[in-house]
Amino acid sequence: MNGQPARDLIEELGEHLSDVKHRDIVLCSGRAKKILITPKEFVEICGTSPKKTAFVDGGDGILEESPNFLITINRIYFSLFCGKSRIKPRGKSRVQFFSYVTSSVTMNQKASINYNTRLFPYSESDREYLPKESDLTSNSDSTAVLQGSRINSLSRSFAEWRLALRVVKEELEAGDVIVMDGSLQTSFKNESSYTEELYKEAVKKGVIVCGLSKTSRLVTESGEPLLARISEIAKNVKYDRWYVRVAEETSPDNKGYVLAVKLHPKSQYVYRFEILREQFKKMNQDEIGMVLGSLAENSNDVAMPGYPYGLIDADRFAQVRYNELGMYRSYLRSEMMRHPGGKKMLKYSTANQAHDHLNGVTS
């Protein structure tokens, strides 16, 4: 193999990325006051009495797809911890459901694609955890039908907010914390009605709403990845567990006050962490420290120090694994063979599988 092109690429890109004058303010569309990130802005996270904390996550997997329909298995889950100790929940902690999305074309002055979703819970008692099907409808002027992960994850994302609301109502008390996997930013039409219902209930009850993101697309005003740049700045900070304020508002559709956090001395990663802005603005430094200190107590797992074990646990039980998809696909296809409409589904989805077949032949 000729290594010269790779060496040239690395040399040129390295020079490009190094030739940057730092502007250590997050680049965002929010209108709030900008925060300059410097070593003196970092705050130590100290030990504290842990708070009862719920962790919420979800997973999904595509079972069958074609240009005009999509069948998905969805799973949502929450765990409860107080520091390192697991707490048994009062209610059901995991809910699974199937969903399908269909597309239809409307021809007016311009063609548009309409999407409709139907949900099929494992039991009728689980339906209370699911979003309204009418809230999952959408349309697009794009002619790229049923493409992209946004359609795949729509039902699951809404269901996570519904589950979080149930957790706040039935599992948590004033002073407790709920942590969503990901940010508090909304991405879909009608999603804000679900988040607002959660936030209203949490504020009324005194439960602190947070979100933790494993990765972040945020950059500084000089174009550097925000979390990587904060890691560099932190080399001049004497604390081994810390947080720093990043932005009061990163975008109009994000209700979280954004921090960057390091939750364990041996953590390799800095995470984006948010607290519901309405609550954060009323908290003093001790109260913020109690939330983060409690989270740090839960972030000592040797497999990934600095990442809350509650979220590791939630990911494990919410994730739809590859081997499960094969099992569910086999079951669905056996059902399809029994129904005339199912045979048409197979015909439609098979037309989309030539690329996978080729990969199997050539790999």
- Cα 353 vs. chain centroid, distance in angstroms? 29
| Residue corresponding to tokens 């009728």 | 124
CA neighbor of 83 nearest in space, from 287, 317, 291: 291
Region of poorest pLDDT, from 6-20, 161-175, 308-322, 327-341? 327-341
Cβ–Cβ under 8 Å, residues 210 and 182: no
**Phi and psi (nearest 5°) for 180?**
-85, 145
Q: What is the DSSP letter of 221?
A: T
Q: CA-CA distance, 158 to 191, in Å (whole number)?
A: 7
Q: What span, in angstroms and rounded, lies between the C-alpha atoms of 11 and 17?
A: 10
Residue whose token pair is 């696909």: 329
Query: From CA 128, how far away is CA 123, in angstroms rounded?
Result: 10
Tell me: pLDDT of 357 over 60: no
State the pLDDT confidence band at 301, using cuts at 50, 70 and 90. Answer: very high
Predicted pLDDT at 337: 83
pLDDT tens digits for 206-261?
999 999 999 899 999 999 999 999 999 999 999 999 999 999 988 888 999 999 99
| CATH numbers and ranges of domains, the chain | 43-318 (3.30.2170), 331-362 (no CATH)
Q: What is the percent of the chain with per-residue pLDDT over 90, rounded to a whole number?
A: 68
Q: What is the pLDDT of residues 232-247, one digit of tens each?
A: 999 999 999 999 999 9
115 token code pair: 């999407």
Read off the DSSP letter of residue 135. Answer: G
Residue count (the chain): 363
What CA–CA distance (Å, rounded) separates 174 from 254? 24
Predicted TM-score of the model (pTM): 0.91
Task: Take residue 8 and report the two structure tokens written for it.
Answer: 């040239």
